Amino acid sequence: MNMDENKKINNEQNPNSSSKNNRRYKYKNHRKKILDSLQNENDKSKIHAAQNANKENLENKSEKKKKKNRNLPSKLTGNEDWQIALAESIEANRVSHENRLHPLKYNNSSEHKIRITPLGGLGEIGGNITVFETNKDAIIIDIGMSFPDGTMHGVDIIIPDFDYVRKIKDKIRGIVITHAHEDHIGAVPYFFKEFQFPIYATPLALGMISNKFEEHGLKTERKWFRPVEKRRIYEIGEFDIEWMHITHSIIDASALAIKTKAGTIIHTGDFKIDQTPIDGYPTDLGRLAHYGEEGVLCLLSDSTNSYKEGYTKSESSVGPTFDQIFSRSKGRVIMSTFSSNIHRVYQAISYGLKYGRKVCVIGRSMERNLYTTMELGYIKLDRKIFIDADEVSKYKDNEVLIVTTGSQGETMSALYRMATDEHKFIKIKPTDQIIISAKAIPGNEGSVSAVLDYLLKAGAKVAYQEFSEIHVSGHASIEEQKLMLVLTKPKFFLPVHGEYNHINKHKETAIKCGVPERNIYLMSDGDQVELCQKYIKRVKTVKTGKVFVDNQINKQIADDVVIDRQKLADSGIVVIIAQLDKATKTLINKPRVFSYGLVADKHDHAFSKDMAEVLGQFFINIKDEVLNDPKFLENQIRQVLRKHIFRKIKKYPTIVPTIFMM
């Protein structure tokens, strides 16, 4: 072997010993020989494979260089290869966690947008209605009602103002219902008197809407009903919607997965995560997690219990309390709850049957909802267990369970009439055990307290939330809200259902769960929020409001009528009738003054005399041009008397003057 051959072998065994130019020359020469050989065989596919192999070889060398430069866990024992593998595993796990927490890969160049506009349900409890809208189509989610406060005299319910719906009615493709509570379906019949669109809902929600349509003379409009199956996707215009089972204080509640070109939006509806529900159907966490893995653009979630720590108790936890009360009750048991809380009613009936009691259901809404649920097969009860109110007296007190409405202290409810001794068949006895299995809705505390006073004065034993564990909420507490956020992993978050303080608290929870604060928007009624994969922002404010309804006549009440009623209730009314000699500007007879809600009867005579003197002095000083304008004259009388009355008793009553010119 000569020196050149020995040098060649040494260079092949130790490439680093040769110069860079020699290596480059050898590499090019070797590559050329391979390509020439393949070219001679006219095999283009092999040429391409060789080129790829060369590229891969270079990439592998580059990767090895990167690995050598990587920070290794040098404090751990083991060789360098093992430490490299460990570092790679740590990095892979980090990436896996990031992908799991934020699975959606956003296409920021996408121009697809969706607009969300709440017309009710924010900054208040109840009256939920939200519009989802693309450039082409729109859907309405829920059309609920709310209850009036004590100042709204003669108002039975409040429904949303549908002004914005009128403007976009040609785009609307359907109404989507999450569940059958009044604050989500109560305004549907009033809506249908003006608009007609398909209603997509579960069978129970449609059954309860059907009952309302019958009351409002809308039987023929049932043709718009579209019953849905859960875990099935329905195409409604540009929206693909899946109903997912959720637990709440009513049977068959749903969350919604709304798939759009802009992305998937999850709307929880009202919910809690009950792992041991009465019907055995827990929240469908699997579907929520599925959409979380696919990627959720935005989450709208129930904020009602945003201040409540921990988890909301299961509906089944009420059962042992019922059992304890029924076992020790020697007289009648009278249980009142929301008429829509059928699982609560079912539990009460089950324990009533356990202790040998017949069941009397009193209250139109309670009867209607219970029998509708039975007819649809959600619960199974033998009709032989039920008795009518006029049959209660035929049984011993310890053989009777009465299930009734009135848990909110409504003055026309069955429980209120029993408590005030106005019910035709049921009078409260000292041996009665009353169960009020509900929490007072904000604004109803005074009414509930009044009913409690009546019942206790009658000598009955009362189990209420302050006295015993007799009620559980249907809304998610903080830990359940966290679970919903973690499962769905939304990019954007819109807390809904509640007053501002509730949604603001929910925002704080979302931030703790990893949602950036800039990706959260706190909406108010009328805010139109635009979403796309790049941003969330408010684009405009639309007109919203409330419409007052008198249920006795099933008609709306004008706003000014409600305002007038409030004024009359707050400050009273004064009616004045007088005859005036136009020529002499003097009163012909003493004016007649009637006041209501202003002074006590014993002071009425002195008040009337005082008003007459003020009125007489006014006419003495009146100008001729005032007498020639009756409306202006009446306004002047109002101003003079209002100022005088305020100086006397600090009230501004409504004044109705009637002046006859002689």
CA angle (67, 71, 76) in 5-degree steps: 105
Residue 340, annotated ligand binder? Answer: no
Reduced DSSP (H G I as helix, E B as strand, rest coil) percent helix, strand, coil of the chain, to 5: 40, 20, 35
The rounded distance, in Å, linking the Cα atoms of 590 and 170 is 63
Going through 486-621 in order, the beta strands assigned E by DSSP cover: 490-496, 527-531, 536-541, 546-550, 555-557, 573-581, 586-587, 592-596
Q: Answer whether 357's CB lies under 8 Å from 188's CB.
A: no
**Cβ neighbours of residue 338 under 8 Å, at least 6 residues apart?**
249, 344, 407, 438
Residue 473, annotated ligand binder? Answer: yes
The rounded distance, in Å, linking the Cα atoms of 510 and 514 is 7
CA 81 to chain centre: 56
Pairing verdict, β 172-176 and 138-141:
parallel
Residue 595, annotated ligand binder? Answer: no
What residues pair up with 362 in beta bridges, in sequence order?
404
The rounded distance, in Å, linking the Cα atoms of 558 and 556 is 7
**Cβ neighbours of residue 100 under 8 Å, at least 6 residues apart?**
293
Would the CA dihedral through 269, 275, 281, 287 be positive or negative?
A: positive
Dihedral (Cα; 573, 577, 583, 585), 10-degree rounding:
-40
CA distances from 72 to 79, 84, 88, 93, 510 (A): 11, 7, 10, 16, 36
Helix, coil or strand: residue 578: strand
CA nearest to 183, candidates 160, 200, 163: 160
DSSP annotation of 122? B
Q: Answer whether 475's CB lies under 8 Å from 272's CB.
A: yes
Binding residues: 471-475
Binding residues for substrate: 471-475
